[in-house]
Amino acid sequence: MRLDALAEGQTFRVEVRRRDGGYTVILDGEALDVDLVETGDHFASLIVDGRSHEVGLEKRKDGYRVHLPDETVTVALAEAARGAPRRPGRPTGPMRLTAPMPGRVVRVLAEKGRDVEPGDGLVVIEAMKMENELKAPRRGRVDEVAVREGQAVEAGALLLVVA
């Protein structure tokens, strides 16, 4: 997906490409590895080139307002560059839940074969002395659990698969 974004009075060319477990975001020609995990309604944990960021996302008519720990940035998306609107409905194929940052698995909340709904807790990871509950972004069934409680994980490590 390609689009133009206006933030802080500057226009940026943005291209987003899916990759296994995350995204490659090309910002004005510079490639960034990005992993995103929704941590609640309107909140996300982002790992950008190995650096962790907790953000709040507020949808606006023309883009988003992004709440960072020290500032708030309004990002407007150029009308002509947005592309086709996203179609509602369930995504197809398995969803791989990966660790957003290095840490330790504190609890595995969903066992193999369990049906999950959006927002159901799946795994709790402790990182930097904080516990982060990773939740199901969509309805599905837990197809694989790849970790156990107490296990250390690296950023991007497979935790479980929801089909």
- Domain ranges for the chain: 2-81, 95-162
The tens digit of pLDDT for each residue in 124-162 reads 988 877 888 888 877 889 999 999 999 999 877 889 888
pTM of the model: 0.47
Q: What band does 83 get if pLDDT is binned at 50, 70 and 90?
A: very low
Specify the pLDDT at position 78. Answer: 65
b/e map 21-39, b = 16+ CB within 10 Å: bbbebeeeeeeebbbbbbb
User: Is the CB of residue 157 less than 8 Å from the CB of residue 147?
Assistant: yes
CATH number of the domain at 95-162, out of 2.40.50.100, 2.70.98.10, 3.30.70.2500, 3.30.1490.20? 2.40.50.100
The tens digit of pLDDT for each residue in 52-75 reads 888 888 888 878 888 888 888 888
Specify the pLDDT at position 61. Answer: 80
DSSP state for residue 110 in the 8-state scheme: -
Question: Which CATH architecture group holds 2-81?
Answer: 2-Layer Sandwich (3.30)
- Give the residue among 101, 96, 104 at the shortest CA–CA distance from 155: 101
